[in-house]
Amino acid sequence: MSWIITKYLITAAVVVLITEVAKRSDRLGALVAALPIVTILALIWLYVENQSTEKIANHAWYTFWYAVPTLPMFLVFSWLLSRIGFWPTLAASVVITVVCFGLFALLVKRFGIELM
């Protein structure tokens, strides 16, 4: 149980660190947030918990493919935010991400990559 609490604390600290950096510098905060910190932590936790190398490699592989269709969301979010407000922009961004993911999954399926 203490291991799970430790994982939560470290992971939460990383999120807090990113938001604190972003408060001070838009660019540095974005750079730190763009780093695959959550994925790196997940890979570390999987390794430390003795998951197979196949499981860890699959996590990295699918993370790459799942990240690609999320990229348009950042552009749409920054464009919509001043126009319709935070919550509607966030909702629209989620919908756009889901649509992009579905379309992307159909596209890469033609190349033998199964995301769904």
Q: So where are the chain's domains?
A: 57-116
Per-residue confidence (pLDDT) for residue 30, from 0 to 100 = 82
Per-residue confidence (pLDDT) for residue 11, from 0 to 100 = 84
Q: Angle formed by the axes of helices 2-24 and 26-34, to 10°?
A: 150
Per-residue confidence (pLDDT) for residue 39, from 0 to 100 = 87
* Ordered mean pLDDT values, 10 residues apiece, the chain (116 residues): 87 87 88 82 93 96 92 94 97 96 96 92
Q: How far apart are CA 7 and CA 83, in angstroms?
A: 38
Per-residue confidence (pLDDT) for residue 116, from 0 to 100 = 84
